Amino acid sequence: MTTVAEQVQPGATTPQRFPETTPATPADYTQFTLTTVMELQKAVGGLTHAVEGLSKQSDEQGKKIDEIRHQVSFVKGALWVGAIVVALASGLAGWLSAGKVSIIIGQHSPPTALTHGR
């Protein structure tokens, strides 16, 4: 029966020397942690700045919408006043012209017995 190591690399032998490395010290881990925290703080600062910018833009757009709403209300009011003035003027003109027409008709055609049904 063959082992897994022999199946992968037939004829492989056990190494005589192992690799030499410097063991990691706690200072190395602290430096990595510190670097990571600083980068995270930098990223959070950028996000905070972006959110503040969006908040200001939102406030400005709200003000613009309020200004437009007031302008639309003013135009609607002006149209209502204009419509009322036109209606009153046309009613007054109709009333005045109806009175003049009846006066003109009364002057040109006096009532006769034929017009009153007698």
With respect to residue 78, please indicate whether it lies within any of the assigned structural domains: yes
The one-letter amino acid at 74: F
Q: How many domains does the chain have?
A: 1
Distances (CA, A) of 115 to 25, 43, 60, 72, 118: 127, 100, 76, 57, 8
With respect to residue 103, please indicate whether it lies within any of the assigned structural domains: yes
The one-letter amino acid at 1: M
With respect to residue 86, please indicate whether it lies within any of the assigned structural domains: yes
Distance from C-alpha of 51 to C-alpha of 59, rounded to nearest angstrom: 12
46-83 pLDDT, tens digit per residue, is 999 999 999 999 999 999 999 999 999 999 999 999 99
pLDDT above 70 for 108: no
The one-letter amino acid at 90: S
With respect to residue 12, please indicate whether it lies within any of the assigned structural domains: no
- What percent of the chain stands above pLDDT 70? 73
Residue 81 lies in domain: 33-108
Strands (E) across the chain are located at: none
- What percent of the chain stands above pLDDT 90? 47
- Structure-token match 């003000």, residue found: 63
* pLDDT value at residue 88: 93
